[in-house]
Amino acid sequence: MFVCGNQACGARWKPSEVEIRNEGQGPIFRCPQCGARNAVVGRTRRDGSLEYRQVQAKHQGTAAK
Ligand SMILES: [Zn+2]
């Protein structure tokens, strides 16, 4: 489960509900509700499939609009 890092939003998303993209600074997803960028890291599971985990943003006060 991902949680939007925009404190005014805080929406929760399943990984299947967001689109992970790399905009040049590593993989991120944009919150479908408020558009804030949230950093994730990709990890390969033992079975070879890729899973993404959210990186906790600390005091990133600037939500992209
Ligand atoms: Zn949001």
Q: How far is the CA of 50 from the centre of ligand 1 (A)?
A: 24
Model-level pTM greater than 0.95? Answer: no
Domain positions in the chain: 2-54
Q: How far is the CA of 30 from the centre of ligand 1 (A)?
A: 8
User: Per residue in 25-55, pLDDT tens?
Assistant: 899 999 999 999 999 999 999 999 999 999 8
Q: Nearest Cα to 37, choosing from 8, 60, 13? A: 60
Q: How far is the CA of 47 from the centre of ligand 1 (A)?
A: 32
